[in-house]
Amino acid sequence: MIKVNLNVKELYNSDFNFLAKEAEYICLKNYGKKVFLRALLEFSNECKMNCLYCGLRKDNRNIKRYFLSVQEIKKIIKKNYLSGFRTFVLQSGEFVNFKFNELCDIIYKLKKEFKNITITLSCGYFTKRKLKLLKESGVDRYLIRFEVADEKIYSYLKNGLSLKKRIEMLYNLKELNFETGSGFMIGLPGENDEILIKNLELCYKLNLDMIGIGPFIPHPDTPLNYLNKPSFEKVLKITAILRILLPYSNIPATTASGTLEPYGREKLLKVGANVLMPNITPPRYKKYYLLYPGKICINENADTCILCLKQKLKKINRELSFDTGSSINFTMKNNNLELNYGIN
């Protein structure tokens, strides 16, 4: 069992080579060579919100909106189920309330038809009551990033919404025994070292099962289109620190990082990431799901993606895994086993 004796600030100020080595060691020790695959289906790009950084924001009239039908979703899941996928992430913007029942119905039908699948949902904010209904419908995991652990910046980026409410939802997810994922963006306006440390501390405090971090890549159709991207080195360093802080969580090498830097995902897998999320959204819809511009792999179908990822992983001595891949954190908690690690 790894015992981490550093506090977040000390880690943040440590030498990158030390962090990278430590993070890779921890990841290989806990998860081996396996890189878990999550099939990502962006089933709708409708969104009622207006986040300043996001290409799906309501005021962006330059994209065609879509919402896949139950039949289409089933067809896509079936095809990928037959290819070996067992873990599916269903993602959308925050749609209006009347679609909620439709969503529960879709999940229920998928869980009934496809045996042993795990469903992660990522559709924005829900009240505790609605989360309970989603759990009853069969949702296993939920992903909602807090984006930035600073109330002022959060509220500025999200048009007055409260960070407290977001964090409350994350605690609700944990209480309802969802495998809980969150994370933040790197390079947002107003960010500094202190805020990045606060972001890391919040991930640790929440003891997340999954942590997704992504670089802020400015989208031309948003009010933040004039800003610069962060350096990839920063993303690498933060990933390594997260792995040291949360040795038993799942950490994806995000597509946004692959967009920011050639071989970005492979580089993240070398510093502690252990999950990849190939996109199974049909290419005719993918082009309308652009949270940020220049997104890689939008013309590839799922089969091409898998072949490509297999080759990429072989080069770095890692292997694709279709296992459900729950975090060690979550598995231990559900078996009443204690994890022995911590920071000062």
Residue from 51, 238, 242, 309 in contact with ligand SF4 (CB under 6 A): 51
Question: Which one of 47, 173, 242, 244 is in contact with ligand SF4 (CB under 6 A)?
Answer: 47
- Output the CA–CA distances (angstroms, integers) from residue 56 to 224, 250, 257, 286, 289, in the order listed: 13, 26, 19, 12, 7
Quickly count: other Cβ atoms within 10 Å of residue 66's Cβ. Answer: 17
Contact 219, 53 (CB under 8 A): yes
The window from 20-28, 45-53, 67-75, 218-226 that contacts ligand SF4 (CB under 6 A) reads 45-53
Four-residue CA torsion sign, 37, 181, 325, 274: positive
Q: Report the alpha-carbon distance of residue 257 to residue 247 in Å, rounded.
A: 21
CB of 333 to ligand SF4, least distance (A): 28
31 vs 53 by CB, closer to ligand SF4: 53
Number of chain positions touching ligand SF4 (CB under 6 A): 9
Residue 57 as a binder of ligand SF4 (CB under 6 A): the answer is yes
The CB-of-169 to ligand SF4 minimum distance in angstroms stands at: 13
Minimum CB distance to ligand SF4, residue 285 (Å): 15
Query: 74 to 133, contacts with ligand SF4 by CB under 6 A?
Result: 93-94, 124
The region of 49-57, 232-240, 308-316, 318-326 touching ligand SF4 under the rule CB under 6 A is 49-57
Contact region for ligand SF4 (CB under 6 A) — 50-58, 104-112, 211-219, 248-256?
Answer: 50-58
Least Cβ distance, residue 58 to ligand SF4 (angstroms): 7
Point out which residues bind ligand SF4 (CB under 6 A): 47, 49, 51, 54, 56-57, 93-94, 124
